[in-house]
Amino acid sequence: MKYFEKVLIANRGEIAIRVMRACREMNIETIAIYSTADKDALHVKYADEAFMVGEAPPAKSYLNVDRIIDIAHKSGSEAIHPGYGFLAENYSFAKRCSEEGITFIGPSWKTIRAMGSKIESKQSMRDAGVPVVPGTPGGVKSAAEAKNIADEIGYPVIVKASAGGGGIGMQIVENEQALDEAISAGMRMAESAFGDSTVFIEKYLVKPRHIEFQVLADEHGNAVHLYDRECSIQRRHQKLVEEAPSPIMTPELRERMSQSAIAVVETSGYWNAGTVEFLYADGDYYFMEMNTRLQVEHTVTELITGIDIVKQQLAIAAGETLPFEQDEISIRGHAIECRINAEDPLNNFTADPGKIQRYRSPGGPGMRVDSGIHMGYTIPASYDSMIAKLCSWGMTRQEAIARMRRAIYEYVIIGVKTTLPLHHAIMHNKHFIEGNTHTHFLQEEHIQKTLARYVREEEKRMQTLAASLRQGKEIAAITGAVSAYIQSQKKE
């Protein structure tokens, strides 16, 4: 069954390749777009056909709606997959696609728009009986209303922008004296960032966990969830490590949370793949928002369920009915994803673009590496610094961690600084191993203290490996990696 003849992938890097891989397996022709900065990128070569979309800045290329629509028509593409980021949650783009007779691979533009308003989505979820964080019922209407609500729920409270995302405009308020100023500052920030000054107030949860559910729904009213992911380890709202399932999940909690996730889907008339985000603290969970796109971390869900989420997206977009019911979907084992970014972990994670001098990707049992880079590739400075997703699978969480550690040792990336040493530190961190993570995990002292040591160790390892590789001693480089692993295991 061939759902489309030709699909345009309006994205770049690893996710463009991820989507094209699904298309290739399904015999669907792929159309790539690329900016002038990406003319030598892998996603361009992987596609059946590729079109230059514009100059390097995203506004001129991967956000250039007119050009992208033009290329879709010119190439005879019936559908557009937006990947994540760029146009993935832009309802005007999804609307434009439908006006142009092109299938947008995602939910309807109306659903995207409704989920973009934090107040609107929170209200409809509360009405549907999904737990939400206590706070103002809608936008803050007056200083007096804000004060009353804050008194009622208790400090600290958090001021959030309704149009917000990624924490922009969010402010924590410790006491009544600081409330007025936080609201006006929040409104100013929201206005300048989103052109909508509406803010609302919630009880502030200290060090919550971020737990999300992957969902799939078709256009015929069927919906399933693909279980949970733990995404608490993040820095400035950029996730760094994700795993599935969440290490704190119990059968009872999963039952309740998954029912809420399905209620969110049914209430919003959602279709295609999506993610329902919850905050979890002290045994309670609260709906945060719904992400109406394919996510970076969909890989860990694929590893534990065996379901190819991108293929399901294509089938759903073509009007198919879901091929399984909830009781046919089960979890096997545990999966972890480490985001490998070209960043300097010892210099405030500043982006470190540049040429990959040497590259060797890990492999073996239980590994999956989704990446858009290769040896000799120059990482452009114009885009996100994520260069690879290193994913491990094991029968148990312990085995997934052991495999991830082993893969980090096997990984050779020379030429740019990366987050590999940070992952090395996390995978050996006692609190992580015990599953005790939360959204402020990386700010804790125990990580900061070990990080510098791991970075130095990693630099030494890379130098040794580079020397072996320069001499053509590929095998020595591999055994070098393995003996480094054995040495460090002995130290523990």
> Where in the sequence numbering do the catalytic residues fall?
293
133 binds ligand MV4 (CB under 6 A): yes
Q: 309-340 in b/e burial notation, b at 16+ Cβ within 10 A?
A: bbbbbbbbbbeeebeeeeeeeebebbbbbbbb
Binds ligand MV4 (CB under 6 A): choice among 246, 439, 442, 458: 439
Q: Most distant CA pair in the chain: distance in Å?
A: 72
List the one residue out of 438, 440, 444, 412 whose CA is nearest residue 425: 444
Which residue among 32, 63, 105, 158 contacts ligand MV4 (CB under 6 A)? Answer: 158
Report the nearest approach of ligand MV4 to the CB of residue 279 (Å): 6
Q: Nearest distance from residue 107's CB to ligand MV4, in Å?
A: 19
What is the secondary structure of 249-264 as a DSSP string?
--HHHHHHHHHHHHHH
Binding-site string for ligand MV4 from residue 203 to residue 232, where x marks contact by CB under 6 A and - marks none: xxx--x-x----------------------
| Closest distance of CB 208 from ligand MV4, Å | 5
Q: Which has the closest alpha carbon to 215: 179, 251, 263, 177?
A: 263
**Residue 148 is inside which H or E element, if any?**
helix 143-153
465 lines the binding site for ligand MV4 (CB under 6 A): no
Phi-psi region of 221 (alpha: psi -120 to 50; beta: other; left: phi over 0): left
Residue 271 phi, psi (nearest 5)? -140, 170
Site membership for ligand MV4, residue 235 (CB under 6 A): no
Helical segments of 269-347, H only = 298-305, 309-317
Q: Which of 71, 241, 288, 310 binds ligand MV4 (CB under 6 A)?
A: 288
Residue 307 token pair: 């379901």
d(Cα 122, Cα 114) in Å, to the nearest integer? 10
Q: Does 149 bind ligand MV4 (CB under 6 A)?
A: no
Which one of residues 234, 292, 301, 305 is an interface residue with ligand MV4 (CB under 6 A)?
234
Residue 9 belongs to what H/E stretch? strand 6-9
CB of 247 to ligand MV4, least distance (A): 16
Q: Write down the least CB distance from residue 172 to ligand MV4, Å.
A: 8
Please list every residue from 169 through 198 that binds ligand MV4, using CB under 6 A.
Answer: none
**Structure tokens, 193:** 């960032």
CB 307 within 8 A of CB 329: yes
Stretch that binds ligand MV4, among 82-90, 202-210, 314-322, 409-417 (CB under 6 A): 202-210
Q: Does 167 bind ligand MV4 (CB under 6 A)?
A: yes
CA distance from start to end of the chain? 53
Query: Is 292 one of the binding residues for ligand MV4 (CB under 6 A)?
Result: no
Question: Which one, 206 or 395, has the nearer CB to ligand MV4?
Answer: 206
* Least gap, CB of 202 to ligand MV4 (angstroms): 4
List interacting residues with ligand MV4 (CB under 6 A): 133, 158, 167, 202-205, 208, 210, 234, 237, 279, 288-289, 439
